[in-house]
């Protein structure tokens, strides 16, 4: 039998290379390729004599569908992100930067489930028992029946969780510390992580226990990232947030049993994560009706509307090349809006520095924010505050036209709920709520919007002159 060849595997994306290279062709990352021995792991290739296959019964697409049995944690934001609770027998991956609060979230979930009488096992491979206990005390979870183990060996973990009554939930914190005797690579490599995760998934499928796997997002490729196992698990959630801010977002990126694009919002406090049922309040910041350059964007996160304040500062530059700095939004999208303002609206920004910030450390990814951004920019340039009770949304195209976006009614409902009585939105928006006409100002193009803001300036000036 030929000796198994070693492979070179990118620790970031899992691409297999024939020889070592400084840069991975798959993901473009540097220094992430590590030599691994594929023996025993997945992808170890055809092994010994192939076993004779057994035919399975083929079936049709129609037929009985069983609702996936779920165990809700009672933590509303977590259940929302998972689509109504953890599905029995499924594997969920929770990824995130180190220190973002994954262990905290899962300890709270474990405690909540344990209080409901579920059998929960927490396997910590990173922290010693004493450290986990300390966190549990801080989170007021120490009095629950969560079972704890500090272990990293896959075979030992499997033996432990197979013993006694079947657990309802097993938490493995983290997959990067798992190592198996059957894989020969070093712990933390793609082969080890995949082997460990595969073994855990098999346990979940066989026993019906829910397996929650924690994975650290890694930048330098020293250890394998959670990406390399995303395809194997049933659901992938990412826990995100800015270290400088308290809020955290649990974002669903894959879910075989529910919707993706959902988010759960939490706030990190000294007693653990607090659920934020109304995220808009968090991102609106302290609103000052008199300051120019602030506009409120009525956005959507999955099925949930979120109001966020965007702030712009436009000031004459002292440098040869004006500065453009963006926090919380795409900088190329800003360049596009600036170009459209110059080309179609006669707004000259070539001699101005432009700074843009999204309040609360939030990140906007929707193109619907274009109109709010443009309004904030024009407002700052004109030195004129926008009405404090108005929200903005709409996508701007390169021609200067404003395009309608989805979920108009939901955005407006959220705005009304939070005390905003008017909105600037694209003309021809469908699903406009009836009976509220007049409060919604429809604009067809970006020049329309600029004229509206500049018009209010003239009005303000004439009022000043009249005083
Ligand atoms: P942790 O859950 O250990 O992060 P991860 O598992 O993702 O690496 O959380 C780490 C941070 O959270 C740490 O910096 C301390 C902070 N923290 C609080 O602010 N309040 C708390 O109640 C707890 C338990 C942690
Ligand atoms: Mg942790």
DSSP per-residue codes, 99-148: TSSHHHHHHHHHHHHHHTT--EEEEESSS-HHHHHHHHHHTT-TTS--EE
The DSSP secondary structure of 45-73, one letter per residue, reads -S-SSPPPP-------S-S--PPPPEE--
| Residue ID of nearest Cα to ligand 1 atom 18 | 270
> Any idea which residue has 């120019």 for tokens?
292
pLDDT tens-digit readout, 195-237: 999 999 999 999 999 999 999 987 766 667 888 899 999 999 9
Mutate to test the pocket of ligand 1, among 97, 104, 141, 274 (most ligand atoms within 8 A of CB): 104
Q: Is the distance from the beta carbon of residue 102 to the nearest atom of ligand 1 less than 6 Å?
A: yes
- pTM of structure: 0.77
Token code pair at residue 339: 């170009």
251 lines ligand 1 (CB under 6 A): no
Residue 288 has pLDDT above 80, yes or no: no
Of 340, 294, 270, give the one whose Cα is nearest residue 101. Answer: 270
What distance in angstroms lies between residue 245's CA and the mean position of ligand 1's atoms?
13
pLDDT tens digits, residue range 109-139?
999 999 999 999 999 999 999 999 999 999 9
**Residues flanking ion ligand 2, Cβ below 5 Å:** 103
State yes or no: pLDDT of 467 exceeds 60.
no
pLDDT of residue 420: 87
Ligand 1 pocket residue status of 100, Cβ below 6 Å: yes
Of the pLDDT bands very low, low, confident and very high (cuts 50, 70, 90), residue 261 is confident
Phi, psi of 237 (to 5 degrees): -120, 140
Which pLDDT value is given to residue 464? 57
Binding site membership of 99 for ligand 1 (Cβ less than 6 Å) = yes
């Amino acid at each position: 039998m030929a000796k198994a060849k070693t492979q070179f595997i990118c620790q970031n994306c899992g691409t297999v290379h024939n020889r070592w290279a400084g840069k991975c062709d798959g993901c473009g990352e540097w220094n992430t390729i590590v030599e691994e021995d594929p023996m025993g792991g997945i992808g170890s290739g055809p092994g010994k004599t192939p076993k004779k296959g057994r035919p399975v019964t083929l079936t049709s697409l129609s037929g009985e569908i069983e609702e996936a049995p779920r165990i809700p944690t009672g933590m509303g934001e977590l259940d929302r992100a998972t689509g109504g609770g953890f599905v029995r027998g499924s594997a969920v991956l929770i990824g995130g930067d180190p220190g973002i609060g994954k262990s905290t979230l899962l300890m709270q979930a474990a405690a909540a489930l344990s209080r409901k009488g579920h059998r929960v096992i927490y396997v910590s491979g990173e922290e010693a028992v004493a450290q986990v206990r300390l966190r549990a005390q801080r989170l007021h979870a120490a009095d629950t029946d969560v079972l704890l183990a500090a272990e990293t060996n896959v075979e030992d973990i499997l033996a432990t969780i197979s013993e006694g009554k079947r657990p309802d939930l097993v938490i493995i914190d983290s997959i990067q510390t798992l190592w198996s005797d059957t894989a020969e690579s070093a712990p933390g490599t793609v082969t080890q992580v995949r082997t460990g995760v595969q073994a855990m998934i098999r346990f979940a499928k066989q026993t019906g226990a829910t397996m929650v796997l924690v994975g650290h997002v890694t930048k330098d490729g020293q250890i394998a990232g959670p990406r390399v196992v995303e395809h194997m698990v049933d659901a992938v959630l990412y826990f995100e947030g800015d270290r400088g801010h308290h809020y955290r977002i649990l974002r669903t990126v894959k879910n075989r049993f529910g919707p993706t694009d959902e988010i759960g919002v939490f706030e990190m406090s000294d007693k653990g994560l607090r659920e934020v049922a109304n995220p808009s309040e968090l991102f609106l910041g302290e609103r000052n009706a008199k300051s120019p350059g602030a506009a409120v964007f009525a956005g959507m996160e999955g099925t949930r509307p979120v109001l966020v304040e965007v702030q712009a500062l436009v000031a004459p530059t002292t440098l040869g090349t004006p500065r453009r700095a963006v926090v919380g939004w795409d900088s190329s999208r800003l360049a596009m809006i600036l170009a459209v303002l110059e080309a179609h609206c006669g707004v000259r920004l070539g001699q101005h520095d432009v700074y843009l910030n999204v309040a609360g450390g939030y990140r906007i990814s929707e193109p619907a924010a274009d109109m709010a951004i443009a309004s904030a920019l024009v407002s700052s340039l004109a030195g004129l505050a926008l009405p404090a009770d108005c929200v903005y949304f709409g996508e701007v195209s390169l021609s200067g036209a404003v395009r309608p976006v989805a979920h108009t009614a939901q955005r407006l409902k959220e705005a009304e709920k939070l005390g905003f009585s008017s909105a600037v939105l694209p003309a021809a928006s469908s699903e406009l709520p009836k009976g509220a006409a007049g409060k919604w100002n429809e604009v067809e193009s970006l020049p329309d919007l600029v004229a509206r803001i500049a018009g209010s300036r003239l009005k303000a000036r004439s009022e000043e002159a009249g005083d």
